[in-house]
A and B are shown apart, each in its own frame.
Chain A
Amino acid sequence: MSNHDLDWLAAQQPQRIGLDRAARERALLALVQHTRARSGERGVRLGNLFRMRTSGFAAATGAVAVAAALIAAVLVPSTAGTDVGRPSARGPQAVAHHHGAVGSPLVRLAAYVSASPAPAGDATLVARTTTTNSGNSVTVYDLYADNGEYFFSPTESGLAGQVSADNNLAGGLFAREIAAAKLAATGDVQTAAQDMADAPDPDHTISPTQTASPADLAAKQAATGIAQVGSLYDNWVWENSQDALIAGSGDPQVRAGVLQILATLPGVAVTNGTSGGQPTLVLSAGSPELGSGYTEQMTINADTGVPIQFVGGPPGGVTATIDYTVSRVTLANLASGSASSD
C-alpha cells in the first residue's frame, strides 16, 4: 500500500504558527496546583515525607532500643500485641509443590484459616524490614486499623503520636483490595479476583485475557528488549493480592480470601519451606504474572497464611527482601500510651 493517503492526511493537518507559550504556562500552573492538591488529599506531600523520613530514620536508629522498650509497654494490653504469625495449634500441614489450581495447598490453607476465630484488638501492626543486597536494612511500621485507617511511622515509638494526632494516611487505600479478599472468603472467588484486579482503579476494568505462551513472551522480549508480562490481569491480581495480604494480615478472613484468589492464578507455584522454625509456604509468581525477566516470592506461614517475607529481583538474583512481623494491637491503647508519655 503506497502512502499517498497518509501524505494527504498529513497535509490536511491544521497549520499552527509557533507554540502558544501562555497556554503552556496555564497548563503547567494547573498541573502543579493539581499535584499539590492531590498530595494534600492524602494528608502528606510524598516527596517531603520521603525526605523527612529518610533523615528521621538516621536520627532514630540510635534510639531504637529505647523506642522498642517504650512501644512494647504501649502495645501490650490484654488484647494487644498478639503475634498472629504463630498458630496456637498445628495447621493443615499442606504438602505443596503446586501451580495454582482448585484443590491447591492455598485452597486447603484458606479453608483452615477461615475457620480461625476473630482476632483480638482493632488494628494490625506490621513491622516491615527491608534489606538490600548491600546488607543495609531498615525497619518501618505500618498500622492498619480495622476501620480502614492507616498510620505510618519510621519508628515504632512514633506510631503512638501518629494515632493520637489522627494522622490517618489511608484515603481509601487498600479498602477495595481488602473488600475483594473478604468477598473471596465468602465463596465468590471469580468475582472477588476481578475486584482485586480492578481495586486500584475500579472505573477501569482489566479483562482476564488469554495468557501469552512462554514462547510468545520470549520472542516479544527479544524484539523489544523488555521483560514481558503474560497477562495484565494476572499481574494485577498477584500484586494487589499482596497488598491485601499485608494490609489485612491480622484478619483471618482477609488472609483466607487472598489465598483463595491467589489459587486462581495460573503461574503461581507453591512450595514448602521453613523460616525461623515456622513451617512456610513459598508462593512464586510465574511468567503469566510477571513475565520472564523478573520474579517475586511471598513467603507465608503454612498454618496461618500470615506474610513473613517478600523477595523480588531478576531470576537468580534478589534486589530487595522485605520481612514482615505482624501483631494485633488496639488503637486506644496506642493513643493513650502517647498521652501518658507526654
Chain B
Amino acid sequence: MDNTYPHSRTQARLVLARDVPRLVAAPSDAELVIASVRDPDAFTELFERHWESLYRFCLDRAGAGGEDIAAEAFRVAFDRRRRYDGRYSDARPWLFGIATNLLREHFRTARREESKLKRSAALEAMPPSDDALDGLERQLLGPHLTAALQGMPAADRDALLLLAWGDLDYEQIAAALDIPLGTVRSRIYRARQRVRAYLQASEDQ
C-alpha cells in the first residue's frame, strides 16, 4: 500500500493522496509520471509515447541539433517529475515547454558564440538579444520564414511555432510556457499579424 516508502517531497504525496489508480493497460501520461517517482522505469513508457512528436518539433526548429535537445528534454523532464501536476493527463504541453526552454537556451548560446566572433573580428559589438534571429536560426528557418519571423519577440515566436508546428492548442501552449491563456492569445495574435503582414507585402511585390 502507499506510504511504505521514505518521506518524499510533497508533489508525490499530494498526488498519491488523491488515490491515483494503479497502472492498468493504458495508464495516462500523468499516471506514468507519478509512477516514475517510485519506479523510474515507468518514465520510459512516456518516452515511447512522445519521442516522435517532440523529436520532430526539435528537429524542425534546431536542425541536426534537435536530436540532442529532444533527448535532453526527456532527461530534464525526468528530473522534474515530482513537480508534474497530476491533474493534467496529457504530458505533451509539459514536455514541449521543457523543449522550448532548451531550444531558447540553444539559440542563446549560438548567439553568444556568434557575437563573440563578431566582436573579435571588430565587425559588430551589438549585445545578443533573445528576440533577434541569430545566424544559426536564420539558416535553419530559411529566407522566407526568417523574413516573416524577424523582429518578432522570441516569446511570440515560441508560442506561434508551438501552435503551427507543435500541434498544441492555446490551453496547451499556456501550460507549456507557464503563462496565462490570455497572454498566449495576445502573443499569437501579434505573431500572426506579423506573418500576415509579411505575406501581404510579398504578394504586393
Instruction: Return chain B residues, CB-CB under 8 Å to A16.
Output: 56, 59-60
Nearest B residue to A44, CB-CB: B6
Cβ-defined contact, B71 with A31, below 8 A: yes
Of the candidates B6, B9, B42, B195, which one forms a contact with A243 in the assembled complex, judged by CB atoms under 8 Å apart? B9
- Counting CB contacts under 8 A, is B82 at the interface? yes
Cβ distance B22 to chain A, nearest Cβ, rounded Å? 12
Chain B 8-24 near chain A by CB (<8 Å), digits 1 or 0: 11110110111100000
Chain A 42-69 near chain B by CB (<8 Å), digits 1 or 0: 0011110110011001000000000000
Chain B 123-144 near chain A by CB (<8 Å), digits 1 or 0: 0000000000000000001101
Instruction: Return chain B residues, CB-CB under 8 Å to A50.
Output: 4-5, 38-39
Cβ distance A33 to chain B, nearest Cβ, rounded Å? 9
Nearest B residue to A247, CB-CB: B7
Cβ-defined contact, B51 with A28, below 8 A: yes
Cβ-defined contact, B1 with A5, below 8 A: no
Interface range on chain B: under 10, 10 to 19, 20 to 34, or 35 or more?
35 or more
Of the candidates A5, A54, A173, A296, which one forms a contact with B192 in the assembled complex, judged by CB atoms under 8 Å apart? A5
Cβ-defined contact, B5 with A45, below 8 A: no
Instruction: Return chain B residues, CB-CB under 8 Å to A30.
Output: 71, 75
Cβ distance A85 to chain B, nearest Cβ, rounded Å? 18
Cα distance, A46 to B4, chains bound together (Å): 11
Cβ-defined contact, A239 with B10, below 8 A: yes
Cα distance, A30 to B160, chains bound together (Å): 30
Of the candidates A6, A19, A200, A296, which one forms a contact with B163 in the assembled complex, judged by CB atoms under 8 Å apart? A6
Cα distance, A53 to B2, chains bound together (Å): 11
Instruction: Return chain A residues, CB-CB under 8 Å to B16.
Output: 320
A90-144 CB contacts (< 8 Å) to partner B: 126, 128, 130, 132, 136, 138, 140, 142
Instruction: Return chain B residues, CB-CB under 8 Å to A229.
Output: 87
Cβ distance A56 to chain B, nearest Cβ, rounded Å? 8
Chain B 115-159 near chain A by CB (<8 Å), digits 1 or 0: 000000000000000000000000001101100100000000000
Instruction: Return chain A residues, CB-CB under 8 Å to B144.
Output: 12
- Counting CB contacts under 8 A, is A222 at the interface? no
Cα distance, A152 to B5, chains bound together (Å): 8
Cβ distance B151 to chain A, nearest Cβ, rounded Å? 16
Cβ-defined contact, A200 with B18, below 8 A: no
Cα distance, A32 to B44, chains bound together (Å): 7
Cβ-defined contact, B60 with A14, below 8 A: yes
Cα distance, A150 to B6, chains bound together (Å): 9
Instruction: Return chain A residues, CB-CB under 8 Å to B205.
Output: none
Cα distance, A236 to B10, chains bound together (Å): 8
- Counting CB contacts under 8 A, is B102 at the interface? no
Given A200-B9, A240-B10, A246-B7, A5-B19 contact (CB < 8 Å): no
- Counting CB contacts under 8 A, is A226 at the interface? yes
Cβ-defined contact, A138 with B4, below 8 A: yes
Chain B 78-101 near chain A by CB (<8 Å), digits 1 or 0: 111011000110000000000000
Cβ distance B128 to chain A, nearest Cβ, rounded Å? 22
Cα distance, A50 to B6, chains bound together (Å): 9
A1-47 CB contacts (< 8 Å) to partner B: 1, 4-6, 8-10, 12-14, 16, 19-20, 23-24, 26-28, 30-32, 34-36, 38-39, 44-47
Given A6-B163, A46-B39, A312-B18, A38-B78 contact (CB < 8 Å): yes
A293-313 CB contacts (< 8 Å) to partner B: 294, 296, 312-313
User: Which residues of A line the B interface, CB within 8 A?
Assistant: 1, 4-6, 8-10, 12-14, 16, 19-20, 23-24, 26-28, 30-32, 34-36, 38-39, 44-47, 49-50, 53-54, 57, 126, 128, 130, 132, 136, 138, 140, 142, 150, 152, 154, 169, 173-174, 200-201, 226-227, 229, 236, 239-240, 242-243, 246-247, 294, 296, 312-313, 319-320, 322
Given contacts A19-B52, A30-B71, 17 further A-B contacts (CB under 8 A): A6-B163, A9-B195, A28-B44, A31-B44, A31-B74, A34-B78, A35-B40, A35-B41, A50-B38, A130-B3, A140-B3, A140-B4, A154-B4, A200-B83, A226-B88, A294-B18, A319-B17
